Amino acid sequence: MRHGVTEFNSSRRFAGYSDIEMTAAGYEQVERLRDRLANERIDAVYSSDLKRTLATAEVICSGRKVEIIPCPELRECNYGDAEGLTFQEISRRYPEMAEFIVNFNLRLEFPGGESFKEFIERTTKFLDRLNKQAPSETILVASHSGPLRVLICALLGIDQNHWWQIRVDNASLSIADTYPRGAIISLLNDTSHLRKEG
């Protein structure tokens, strides 16, 4: 699942390592997701160690006796000098980088931050943790759009060049069933719990 909305999300700013909080609307979103998951079994919880994801995991797990394990490898990409900028600002300051973002390319690098290849390498290390869990367990992963898309590509065994073709909205739920020969995505980017009733 992805964390609830933040000010940076609302203003369409690049928020990678920036340790920003969710907004009141973000908390409302994850409370709705918590209610949706109320009757689901959760055996283990892993979360990015940034505030917006840890707070998301805490809301989802309130009332449950389950430890939330902070994982730096689940952090969003480190955008370096592009942190907090809008795409328009990036286009003016770093036109070459903006070109790689628009026409997604794995050679993308963020000045003062991570290259996309480093980001993928860091994120996929998280799968080592998953492999230590029992096959019958239900694992909850709280992260960000970028890492979740990396993990979906990795679990499905598809090239990371397809990363940009997967959408993961705020407070969305995705479900992957894992087997020795691979994973099956049974739900992707579901936000039906966020629809207003009545």
What is the distance between the alpha carbons of residues 187 and 22, in angstroms, rounded to a whole number? 24
Which residues, 6+ apart, have CB-to-CB distance to 193 below 8 Å? 32, 33, 35, 36, 171, 173
User: Is 142:1 a contact under the CB 8 Å cutoff?
Assistant: yes
Alpha carbon of residue 76 to chain centroid: 7
Using CA atoms, how far apart are residues 84 and 70, in angstroms rounded to an integer?
A: 23
DSSP label of 195: S
Overall residue count recorded for the chain in this entry: 198
Contact 84, 15 (CB under 8 A): yes
Q: Which residues are catalytic?
A: 3, 144
Which tokens go with 188? Answer: 């992707």
Nearest to 48 by CA among 116, 120, 142, 140: 142
